[in-house]
Chains A and B, each alone.
Chain A
Amino acid sequence: MATPSQSKYVTLVSNDGFEFVVLREAACVSGVIKRSLDPKSGFAESAAGRVTFDEINGIVLEKVAEYFNYNHKNRNREDVPDMEIPPELCLELLMAADFLDT
């Protein structure tokens, strides 16, 4: 296995076991993920390149991962398209956003 701290990708794991592999650069828009993956912090997450969220379920984490990609893709654009969120997820996503500081 390649050294995880150098890997371009990180794995986000939901509380029900779903795993999402996203670009490290994209995921680091979240303050919490950035801090936990910082090699200087010495957290176990930074060594493994794998962050487990006990508070977020798979459905919400999927949207979060989708947001990371959306944010990463549109980082240099002037006119950013809107991202669609199904209404039943909006409140959970709001809480996830607060938790992730995104």
Chain B
Amino acid sequence: MDEEPTLPSFSRSNPIARRLDELAGHPPRKRVRENSPPPFSSDPPLFSSDDDPSADNYTSKRQKRKYRGPWFHQQPASDSPSDSSEQNQQMKGKRTLARQFDSGVWLGSDGTEEDFAEGLEHHGVPSFINPRAPIALSYDHVRKMPTLQESSTAAEDKARQQIGECLDEGTEDIILSSFNLSSISNSTISPLASFTCQPKSSAGVTFESLIPDLRIFLHSNRLTSLPASLFSLERLTLLTLRDNQLDELPPSIGNLPNIKELNVSQNKLRYLPFEILQLVSSAGKLKNARLHPNPFLEPKDLHGQTEQDIQSDLEPVPSPVFGSSQHRQDIRPSTPIHDKDKGHHWSPYWHVAYKRRTQVRFRDITGALMKGPIFPSDSDQDKTRLTPSSNQDLGGNLVPLADENDCAEPPAPRGNQISRAPSLMEVALSACSKTPQLPYLAEYLDNDSPEHLHTLLEQACAKKDSGGSKCTICKRDFIIARTEWIEFWELAKIENRTASAASPLRQMGNERDLVESIVPLIRRGCSWLCVPERGRAPVLCQDQ
């Protein structure tokens, strides 16, 4: 049988043909979607000799074709108009699968796919969904999804505009203070990552650095959380978060390599993330930090010691002259706890030393408190879960300290033993966290599903927005903290001041300075085995 595969028509919609038409004086045709048969996966034939790329062509006798007229008007004889309209009829009908001979893959043809999408529109699919996007979710749920744009407020629009202006004009000071911002999204801050300075050509200056030193002022707003993109700005040198409603700083704050000044005063911070120590390590550049006033947790020993007593326990010298590095050097050898962190190099601007820690708190797979001391910052749910006998509420911001030889004992495990492997809940939740639909997943849960699943998904969402968290022991990413404890570190600025007539050297340390130099840092672990080592001062491990 002399059967020839049909070829796509070399019609006037071909760009070359159209161009030639235009040159010949014909008006250009509008580009319309033609009802041509689906294209073959090989290149369209342009010359008569390559009308069929397959070798089958040579098995039968070839006939030479004859053409009339210019080459760009030619159509192979088999592709007659009647033929193609017949095919179109067939195509409109039903979705068919046609095997493309040289592709080896079965695929729905182009035209039929569009029909499919059209069919969906009849079923009330909202227009913002690209009908060609892979359909993974059922459409009932998709309709309920709020769009991201709705969440941005007028205040944030104003902030966005301000950031846009700063970007355009190359202003390094991004002043978003008193904007009445209650939240700030990742998409608002992220354009700053591409900030470039504008060269100012002034006489006598040959070179100037175009590397920006970004300074972001967010004080006097109502922020309760911070976006991750704020902490991925490598060139951020100053960050002011004074007078906001923050109750926790995200661990990703440790990722700011160039920050020199940080102000987090007048917030609701109970503790700082452990990762903040990266800013005062030898690689960090932090020079000034304003951490107070904040309702920080304060240590209280089980024997009823107050903070000052502990301080004097740790440092036998009763009243150290605060701020004198010389003095620090003197007392260091006499206090054993200082020797333990000698191996780590801290920033020359800061005196950093581990003091004491609280007992470890263990949480179950859903994040509910199982064992450990109660902190004043806990939710009522956690407070009522544990029997009050072992955990008396100390009042105020005081938290009990653990013994120096305290060894963290986890509660009885679910299985036969405790392992570092994450729970199935954690595995599933981190898989949820990786999908872009994370903010909408809670809507898929059944109405009778337990409340804590909603809470967990919310938590995962908040954690993703703020840049995630890593176990401070084993560096694994986690969503539900299984262990947590607070370490009290001494974080004091070393000031090398020389006495002068204008500014006489302050001789006596302020008592409040002493108290404020002890800051609570929260450490969290991803499994019940991620607990502090017994009797040893912790070592800050850096990611890089």
List, in ascending order, chain B residues with CB within 8 A of A102's CB.
365, 414, 423-425
Q: Number of A residues whose C-beta is below 8 Å from B? A: 35
Contact B434 A87 (CB under 8 A): yes
Answer yes or no: A54 CB below 8 A from chain B CBs: no
Contact B428 A90 (CB under 8 A): yes
Known contacts A75-B421, A100-B424; is-contact A95 B416 (Cβ 8 Å)? no
Q: Which of A28, A70, A88, A101 has the most CB of B within 10 A?
A: A101
List, in ascending order, chain A residues with CB within 8 A of B289's CB.
none
Contact A94 B429 (CB under 8 A): yes
Contact B421 A71 (CB under 8 A): yes
By DSSP majority rule, is chain B's interface helix, strand, loop, or mixed?
loop
Min CB gap A40→B, angstroms: 16
List, in ascending order, chain A residues with CB within 8 A of B414's CB.
29-31, 34, 101-102
Answer yes or no: B441 CB below 8 A from chain A CBs: yes
Interface residues of A in 60-94 (CB under 8 A from B): 64, 67, 70-71, 74-80, 82-83, 85-91, 93-94
Which of B420, B432, B456, B476 is close to A90, meaning CB atoms less than 8 Å apart? B432
Contact B416 A94 (CB under 8 A): no
CB contacts between A and B, total, < 8 Å: 99
Answer yes or no: B444 CB below 8 A from chain A CBs: yes
* Assembled-state Cα–Cα distance A89/B365 (Å): 19
Contact A80 B424 (CB under 8 A): no
* Assembled-state Cα–Cα distance A76/B418 (Å): 9
* Assembled-state Cα–Cα distance A85/B423 (Å): 13
* Assembled-state Cα–Cα distance A92/B59 (Å): 56
Known contacts A31-B414, A76-B419, A98-B453; is-contact A91 B444 (Cβ 8 Å)? yes
List, in ascending order, chain B residues with CB within 8 A of A87's CB.
431, 434-435
List, in ascending order, chain B residues with CB within 8 A of A85's CB.
427-428, 430-431
Contact B424 A28 (CB under 8 A): no
Known contacts A80-B421, A80-B476, A85-B428; is-contact A91 B441 (Cβ 8 Å)? yes
Answer yes or no: B224 CB below 8 A from chain A CBs: no
List, in ascending order, chain A residues with CB within 8 A of B405's CB.
none
Min CB gap B413→A, angstroms: 9
By DSSP majority rule, is chain A's interface helix, strand, loop, or mixed?
helix
* Assembled-state Cα–Cα distance A43/B74 (Å): 81
List, in ascending order, chain B residues with CB within 8 A of A64's CB.
424
* Assembled-state Cα–Cα distance A8/B193 (Å): 57
Q: Which of B429, B431, B453, B457 has the most CB of A within 10 A?
A: B431
Min CB gap B415→A, angstroms: 4
* Assembled-state Cα–Cα distance A56/B85 (Å): 51
Contact A97 B424 (CB under 8 A): yes
Min CB gap A47→B, angstroms: 21
Answer yes or no: A25 CB below 8 A from chain B CBs: yes
* Assembled-state Cα–Cα distance A82/B457 (Å): 20
Contact with B along A36-71 (1 / 0, CB 8 A): 000000000000000000000000000010010011
Contact B419 A71 (CB under 8 A): yes
List, in ascending order, chain B residues with CB within 8 A of A70's CB.
421
* Assembled-state Cα–Cα distance A75/B419 (Å): 5
* Assembled-state Cα–Cα distance A18/B423 (Å): 24
Answer yes or no: B54 CB below 8 A from chain A CBs: no
Interface residues of B in 381-427 (CB under 8 A from A): 414-417, 419-425, 427
Which of A29, A74, A76 is close to B415, meaning CB atoms less than 8 Å apart? A29
Min CB gap B544→A, angstroms: 18
Min CB gap A3→B, angstroms: 21
Answer yes or no: B366 CB below 8 A from chain A CBs: yes
Min CB gap A74→B, angstroms: 4
Contact B425 A98 (CB under 8 A): yes
Contact B449 A95 (CB under 8 A): yes
Contact B449 A97 (CB under 8 A): no
List, in ascending order, chain B residues with CB within 8 A of A97's CB.
365, 423-425, 427-428
Min CB gap A99→B, angstroms: 9
* Assembled-state Cα–Cα distance A101/B474 (Å): 24
List, in ascending order, chain B residues with CB within 8 A of A30's CB.
414-415, 424
Contact B450 A98 (CB under 8 A): yes
By beta carbon, the residue of chain A nearest B136 is A88
By beta carbon, the residue of chain B nearest A71 is B421
Answer yes or no: B20 CB below 8 A from chain A CBs: no
Q: Which of B136, B422, B424 has the most CB of A within 10 A?
A: B424
Min CB gap A24→B, angstroms: 10
List, in ascending order, chain A residues with CB within 8 A of B421's CB.
70-71, 74-75, 77, 80
* Assembled-state Cα–Cα distance A100/B414 (Å): 11
Contact with A along B526-542 (1 / 0, CB 8 A): 00000000000000000
* Assembled-state Cα–Cα distance A93/B434 (Å): 14
Contact A91 B432 (CB under 8 A): yes
Min CB gap A21→B, angstroms: 18
* Assembled-state Cα–Cα distance A96/B428 (Å): 9
Answer yes or no: B210 CB below 8 A from chain A CBs: no
Min CB gap A12→B, angstroms: 13
List, in ascending order, chain B residues with CB within 8 A of A78's CB.
420, 474
Q: Which of B420, B430, B441, B457 has the most CB of A within 10 A?
A: B420
Ordered nearest first, which 7 A-B pairs have the shortest CB separation? A85-B431, A29-B415, A90-B431, A102-B424, A93-B428, A75-B419, A94-B428
A–B complex contacts, Cβ < 8 Å, 13 sampled: A71-B419, A71-B421, A74-B419, A74-B421, A80-B476, A85-B427, A85-B431, A86-B431, A87-B435, A89-B431, A90-B428, A90-B441, A97-B423
- Tell me the B residues contacting A by CB distance below 8 Å: 136, 365-366, 414-417, 419-425, 427-432, 434-435, 441, 444-445, 449-450, 452-453, 456-457, 474, 476
